[in-house]
Amino acid sequence: MDTTDAFVGLECIGCGASFDAETGTHRCPDCDGVLDPAYDYDAVDLDRETLEARPFDSMWRYEELLPFTRASAVTMDEGATPLVECEKLADELGVGRVLIKDEGRNPTGTFKDRGQTLAMTAANQHGASDVALASAGNAGQAAAAYAGRADIDSHVFLPSRAGFTTKAMVNVHGGDMTVVGGRIGDAGAAYADAMAEHDDWYSVKTFVTPYRHEGKKTMLYEIVEQLEWAVPDAIVYPTGGGVGLVGMYKAAEEFRDLGLIDDVPALYAAQATGCQPIVEAFEDGRERHDPVEYPDTICGGIEIPDPGASPWILEALRESGGGAVATDDDDILEAAVAVAKGEGLEMAPTCAAAASGAWELGERGAFDDDATVVILNTGAGNKDADVLRSHLMGQGV
Ligand SMILES: *Cc1c(COP(=O)(O)O)cnc(C)c1O
Ligand SMILES: [Zn+2]
């Protein structure tokens, strides 16, 4: 495989076993734990000047801290998204600065592209002919796009309530789509049945491939570099499976251990009250979530009732000094509209859970007056324009 110099293989976060990337392709064969890419950080020669001298052109500019070489990547120059100053929001939250990391400007309109570029590069290097996943929508669209680029067939399992745009675009990218009645769990069951019948399908599903959180970690690298190496006081993240959250936590520790930053930012998980397993576990001081029996929120991307990586997510929240917050769908839709009106930025409902959560945290006094708060806009608002518009119709507009 075409791996980078410092990458040493995959480490199980459950039992600590190590595997090389040829043989460890998905979950741990010993304990079924998540595999995490590992590096020899002494072999990483990166300083601020070196990074600053590079064009801000793609997440692959952090190649030394990724498993595969940029030359071998299945990439569309994803990442390198803007960090947009939002002065009105800062006033409303009563903090020094609010910045929105606008992941809507990725090739398929969400940060899922960061995960799929890496997962598809791995699939390609493993010689996969077919990839498969279950998804709430955006990951399926991203997978279909990157698979097409790598001449790999994709099989995407979506719940019926996945957004119209994602379903349409899976088809447009040439993916084989199965829409399953019900919710993400039902799509997951159909995916599992299909995987059992096709032992040559290569999974690119959340925390089944070791590479999606690894791709998403680059968001944190970019944020601190865009802040000229200042670590923000808080990062608020719309949390479903927590892939991006644990990725950013890992990235912050890496940058700190490499001496590029001094501190780890406080990470906050934002959820919707209709599906808030992480918030409940955090507030109860538990190490693991209880699955939500009847999830119901308009925020499809974070309607994840059974996030398997919850111990890792909760550790990231607690160790970073952050927290967890949930707001209801009405407040979330209001936040999306307020940001679009006041700042111009288009947030999908799922992502607006982070804006709404930041508001709520501000009201609870979680932030200092001079705090710098970063809100992740994980996906473009126009992917769910119908949902946002119908919220206005509900108000007679
Ligand atoms: C998938 C998704 C999320 C949740 O991501 P996790 O990292 O799994 O928590 C948030 N926002 C959008 C737009 C998504 O597509
Ligand atoms: Zn293990």
Whether 251 and 350 map to the same domain: the answer is yes
Provide the 10 A C-beta neighbour count for residue 23: 9
74 occurs within a structural domain: no
Of 181, 203, 225, the residue that ends a domain is 203
72 occurs within a structural domain: no
pLDDT digits (tens, 9 = 90+) for 179-205: 999 889 999 999 999 999 999 999 999
Q: What is the pLDDT of residue 347?
A: 97
pLDDT under 50 in the chain at which residues? none
73 occurs within a structural domain: no
Ligand 1 proximal residues by C-beta, below 6 Å: 110, 112, 138-139, 206, 238-244, 301-302, 348, 350-351, 378-379
For ligand 1, the distance from its centroid to the CA atom of residue 161, given in whole angstroms, is 15
Atom of ligand 1 minimally distant from the CA of 383: 13
pLDDT digits (tens, 9 = 90+) for 206-253: 999 999 999 999 999 999 999 999 999 999 999 999 999 999 999 999
Strand, coil or helix: 282? helix
Chain centroid to Cα 126, Å, comes to: 24
One-letter identity of residue 184: I
Residue nearest to atom 1 of ligand 1 (CA): 301
214 phi and psi, to 5 degrees? Answer: -65, -40
Q: What is the pLDDT of residue 230?
A: 97
Q: What is the pLDDT of residue 300?
A: 93
* Contact of 134 with 224, CB cutoff 8 Å: no
For ligand 2, the distance from its centroid to the CA atom of residue 246, given in whole angstroms, is 18
Whether 199 and 218 map to the same domain: the answer is no
The ligand minimizing its distance to the Cα of 34 is: 2
For ligand 1, the distance from its centroid to the CA atom of residue 52, given in whole angstroms, is 29
Atom of ligand 1 minimally distant from the CA of 240: 9
Whether 247 and 143 map to the same domain: the answer is no
One-letter identity of residue 62: Y
Residue nearest to atom 4 of ligand 1 (CA): 240
Atom of ligand 1 minimally distant from the CA of 138: 15
77 occurs within a structural domain: no
Residue nearest to atom 5 of ligand 1 (CA): 240
Instruction: Give the span between the Cα atoms of 168 and 145, in whole angstroms.
Output: 12
Of 203, 221, 239, the residue that ends a domain is 203
Q: What is the 3-state secondary structure (H, E, C) of 129-142?
A: CEEEEECCCHHHHH
For ligand 2, the distance from its centroid to the CA atom of residue 17, given in whole angstroms, is 6
For ligand 1, the distance from its centroid to the CA atom of residue 218, given in whole angstroms, is 15
Atom of ligand 1 minimally distant from the CA of 213: 7
The ligand minimizing its distance to the Cα of 219 is: 1
Residue nearest to atom 3 of ligand 1 (CA): 301
Per the structure, how many domains does the chain have?
3
Of 178, 203, 228, the residue that ends a domain is 203
1 occurs within a structural domain: no
Instruction: Give the span between the Cα atoms of 230 and 83, in whole angstroms.
Output: 13
142 occurs within a structural domain: yes
- C-alpha distances (whole Å) from 380 to each of 50, 117, 265, 377 are 31, 18, 25, 7
Whether 228 and 284 map to the same domain: the answer is yes
For ligand 1, the distance from its centroid to the CA atom of residue 289, given in whole angstroms, is 18
Q: What is the pLDDT of residue 252?
A: 98
Range of the domain at 22: 7-67
For ligand 1, the distance from its centroid to the CA atom of residue 101, given in whole angstroms, is 14
Atom of ligand 1 minimally distant from the CA of 206: 8
349 occurs within a structural domain: yes
76 occurs within a structural domain: no
Specify burial of residue 363 (Cβ count, 10 A radius: 0-12, 13-18, 19+). exposed
Atom of ligand 1 minimally distant from the CA of 216: 7
CATH number of the domain that residue 277 is part of: 3.40.50.1100
- Listed residue (387, 359, 352, 370) closest to 102, CA to CA: 352
- Answer positive or negative: Cα dihedral of 43, 49, 53, 56: positive
Whether 225 and 355 map to the same domain: the answer is yes
